[in-house]
Amino acid sequence: MIPRCLMAMVCFLIWASPAVAQLNVVATLPWIGSLAGDIGKDKIKVTTLVKPSQDPHYVEAKPSMILEVRRADLLLFNGLELEIGYLPVLVESSRNPKIQPGTPGYFDCSQFVEVIEKPAAVDRSMGDVHPLGNPHYHHSPRNIYRVAGGITEMLATVDPANAGFYRTNLAGWQDKFKEREKKWGQTKLKGEKFIAYHKFFEYLAHDFGFEIIGYVEPKPGIPPSAGWVERIIELAKRTKPEAILTTSYYGTREVTFLSQKSGVRYIVVPHDVGATPACKDWFSLMDQVLAALK
Amino acid sequence: MGTFIIFLFLGLLLGTPSVWAETLEERIKKLEETIQKQQEVLKDQQKALEDLKDQSKQAKVAEPPSAEPPPPRDYRLDDRSRGIYVPSASPLTPYSLTKQVTTPGLMNPAISVILDTEYYHSTLSRQELESRSAPGYLDPQEAPFKEGFNLRAIELGFFAPVDPYFNLYATLPVTEDGIELEEAYFVTTSLPAGLQFKGGKFKSGFGRFNAFHPHAWDFVNAPLAYKLFFGGEGEGLTEKGAQLTYLPNLPIYTILGAEVLQGDNDTLFGPDGGPHAYTGFVKSSLDLGANHSILFGGSVVGGKTNTGSFAPDTELKGDSVLYGLEFTYKWKPSRWRSLILQSEYLYRHQKGDLTDTVALTRDSLKRNQDGLYVQALYQIDRWRIGARFDRMAIFKDEVLLAGEKQNYSGQPYRWTGALEFNPTEFSRIRLQYNYDKSDPNKVNQEIFLQFLIAVGAHGAHAY
């Protein structure tokens, strides 16, 4: 009885182990997974932990995620403490020596980013401020260009046999980038004013020269009170911004109300790859974001 | 001659200061003038500097989107990044760290401080509370809350990676009676094959509820079955010992674990020479679509018993085994909406000799008892409502003393309802009502207003 059980167990384990030696890459956010897929193509197997419908600030460490991280050869994450609520517990519980902090497999994409809004002093009375700076840099082409380079070099390090393949793919990606960049550069957003729900579009504003004059959240992570909404309506009426920017996971209840009261339209900006069907990869995400802002 | 000298002296005495004063005044005026001039110069320079800054700012902001004349500036490669970025044919070094992104600080552990304070009201008097028991399960225990203001603890938590092989954790609740050592353990990070080793004093992997610290409980107090089988407030099994867990690479999450424990829990085990409690557990989890997940499993803990908790003036020596089954379901479609259903079933089998320490008689004692709790938590925005039902003697309530069945006429049960407001993830206000009939003689109706306030390092939350 017991030997038969063991046999079945062993057979099961053999069946469960992957047949082709693809590099297992686990990414926290959809855009990171998509970027890695563009570089690694069929040489890597990408698993993304966070769904495009989820608020990246509030993700729960599910056991299924622990299992994904356990299998990872490389763990790619956003960094700047965006994943602080779930990633440390996933990494420890994964029991995976390849992706522990301090190893090359523990890959913080923000190391290539010129971080903005790094607070000089911070405490939580300011709301859920990210003490290492604004973590939502994925809408910034200049930063993602470098992140793509960094991911390529890391893939080449972890999987040296395919280093040439990854670097060739990066070159192709960079060509595409230069082509798109010309198009994006023609987006006329310079000097325009917007109101945003959360401090989510600062890198976009920084790169494309527009201004965010107010936030629907009174403080990061704190939902607006009735009094605050009144102040935002007053601000919107007085300054007449182009639009109120939000993302799908904040819902449209508050922005619809704001929009009706102030006469300023709202735009649901795709926040990540997969947020809308058209956002297939990082390039089309940027296309969609800039098209939405026009 | 004398008068001359006197005049000279007077002249000197009176005249010189005035002369000095004039020159000083002049000097000061001159100085003031020069300072003013310098200030003007400085102002001009500052203005020029600010203008320059503004220009450069405008230039920075303006350049990326300016399309006329095309082609636009290659904005991703500004001077700084040009220094960092080198074409990808060269090795890894070009992508050096632009900054250190490690938190906590290199030499300091992450520290969290959590305040757990409550206002308590009971329909029973202090004396009645102190004399409550659950006959057949547990003798009277110290009432954890007093009428009025209570401060359960301020819990200090420390965490840091030790080196590439270990992480260290310590949890020290400070109460008015002093500092306690709730947990202090290391855990390995780099064992191969999905293995992990834990050592020190830690919360056992037995069951579901057992793993949580009081501040993370879903209600102010622990499930009844935990209170009656583990004693105390129902914190469960926190022991010195060693744990080995294994996470096999299977298509579904399954974790297997075993522990050797000192067995200090004085309700279930009690003091004895050397480690004398052992646990084993298996848990599995599945995602059912994007928003639903379940966790289920079974646990067992067994060991040598030497306890006085059966009844006053008694001593029980023998063996105990406690079995646990757990089930958790979570529906979490967004940050603002969730439903959690959770249930655990515990079954205790105990056999031994009961000594009456006054009459000095000894009889055999056999207990087969069980208990269950079912709870639901529903969250809307920053509010959460919860309900829990606890009941003992579900399938089995057998106490045999000297072979004779004892009848304690008790099916202890308790109803709990709670309403929470969570201003942020660092603060929680909870209003809770208990209808507690764990002692069949007296119903205890309780109301709690609890404040849980956390500062310090942001701990990651377990499932």
Q: Along the 463 residues of chain B, how does pLDDT read in single tens digits?
A: 455 455 544 444 444 444 444 566 777 777 677 777 777 767 777 766 666 655 555 444 434 433 333 333 333 333 333 333 322 222 222 233 333 334 445 567 888 899 999 999 999 998 888 888 888 888 887 888 999 999 999 999 998 888 889 999 999 999 999 999 999 999 999 899 999 999 999 999 999 999 999 999 999 999 999 999 998 889 999 999 999 999 999 999 999 999 999 999 988 998 877 899 999 999 999 999 889 999 999 999 999 998 888 878 888 899 999 999 999 999 998 888 999 999 999 999 999 998 888 888 888 889 999 999 999 999 998 999 999 999 999 998 888 888 888 887 678 999 999 999 999 888 999 999 999 998 888 899 999 999 999 988 776 677 8
pLDDT > 70 in chain A, percent = 91
Looking at the complex, report in whole angstroms how far the Cα of residue B195 sits from the nearest Cα belonging to chain A. 6
**Best residue in B78, B187, B247 to probe A by mutation, most A CBs within 10 Å?**
B247
Cross-strand pairs, B365: B352, B401
What pLDDT, on the 0 to 100 scale, is given for residue B460? 66
Residue range A162-180: mean pLDDT, rounded:
91
What gap in Å lies between CA A137 and CA B76, rounded to an integer? 13
What gap in Å lies between CA A258 and CA B58, rounded to an integer? 31
Helix (H, G, I), strand (E, B) or coil at B372: strand
**If you average pLDDT over every residue of chain A, what do you get?**
86
CB atoms under 10 Å from CB of A89, counted, come to 18
Q: Is A256 on the interface with B (CB under 8 A)?
A: no
CB contact under 8 A, B101 and A79: yes
CB contact under 8 A, B81 and A146: yes
CB contact under 8 A, A71 and B249: yes
What gap in Å lies between CA B55 and CA B48, rounded to an integer? 10
* Residue A118 reports pLDDT greater than 70: yes
Q: Chain A residue closest to B63 (CA)?
A: A209
Q: Which member of B76, B99, B283 has the closest CB to residue A141?
A: B76
> pLDDT band at residue A224, thresholds of 50, 70 and 90?
confident
What pLDDT, on the 0 to 100 scale, is given for residue B56? 53
What tens digit of pLDDT does each residue of A55-97 get?
A: 888 888 899 999 999 999 999 999 988 998 899 999 999 999 9
* Residue A170 reports pLDDT greater than 60: yes
Query: Which residues 148-207 of chain A have a CB within 8 Å of chain B?
Result: 149-150, 152-154, 156-157, 167, 170-171, 177, 181-182, 185-190, 206-207
What's the pTM? 0.79
Q: What is the dihedral of CA A280, A284, A290, A292, to 10 degrees?
A: -40
What gap in Å lies between CA B106 and CA A103, rounded to an integer? 16
B270 is written with which tokens? 């009690």
What pLDDT, on the 0 to 100 scale, is given for residue B344? 97
Q: Chain B residue closest to A97 (CA)?
A: B190
CB contact under 8 A, A89 and B336: no
A159 is written with which tokens? 């999987």
- Provide the residue type at A265 as one letter: R
From residue B57, alpha-carbon distances to A200, A210, B325, B392 in Å are 21, 13, 63, 71
**Best residue in A28, A62, A66, A242 to probe B by mutation, most B CBs within 10 Å?**
A62
B contacts of A145 (beta carbons < 8 Å) = 76-77
What gap in Å lies between CA A285 and CA A278, rounded to an integer? 8
What tens digit of pLDDT does each residue of A14-34 get?
A: 455 444 578 999 999 999 999
- More confident site: B33 or A235: A235
Q: Chain B residue closest to A155 (CA)?
A: B92
What gap in Å lies between CA A64 and CA A70, rounded to an integer? 10
What gap in Å lies between CA B109 and CA B160, rounded to an integer? 5
Q: Which helix (H) or strand (E) holds A154?
A: helix A141-158
CB contact under 8 A, A157 and B461: no
Q: Which helix (H) or strand (E) holds B350?
A: strand B337-356
- Provide the residue type at B16 as one letter: T
Q: Are A109 and A76 in contact (CB under 8 A)?
A: yes
CB contact under 8 A, A249 and B335: yes
- More confident site: A6 or B133: B133
B contacts of A142 (beta carbons < 8 Å) = 64, 75-78, 81
What gap in Å lies between CA A130 and CA A123, rounded to an integer? 10
Q: Which member of B88, B245, B463 has the closest CB to residue A63?
A: B463
What pLDDT, on the 0 to 100 scale, is given for residue B77? 37
What pLDDT, on the 0 to 100 scale, is given for residue A12? 52
pLDDT > 90 in chain A, percent = 37
